[in-house]
Structure 1
Amino acid sequence: VRGVLGVDPDVRKGFSSVRVAFDIDADASDAEIDALVASGTKYSAVFDMLTAPTSVVVGRGDA
């Protein structure tokens, strides 16, 4: 929060890590559930954006 509020310029404004845990209750084997979780990272746009360099362009809407 200190970075976001500008209180401390040495503190990063973003997250240093993101942790996700799935609690899956399914009639499936552990291997099937592991495959499902793996497919989430394979096809997730959010996972891709967080783990690969993403170009961000900031500007005025009226320019």
Structure 2
Amino acid sequence: MSNAELARQVGVPESTCSGRLRVLRERGVIAGVHADVDLGSLDVPPRGHDRAALHGPHT
């Protein structure tokens, strides 16, 4: 979900929403995010269960 969509759903300006998310990340309240990937939509042969982890300031 984009910051704009989240802000719209909770009824606050985008700048307020992004600031609150930043504070929650800094405090460790938001420890990470995830994506549900439809592997069937990829044009690659199946290889069992694939898993990837991304690390950085916004993960």
TM-score greater than 0.5 by the shorter chain:
no
Greater relative contact order structure (CA < 8 Å, 6+ sep) = 2
Larger radius of gyration: 1
> What TM-score, normalized by structure 2, do the two folds share?
0.32
> What TM-score, normalized by structure 1, do the two folds share?
0.31
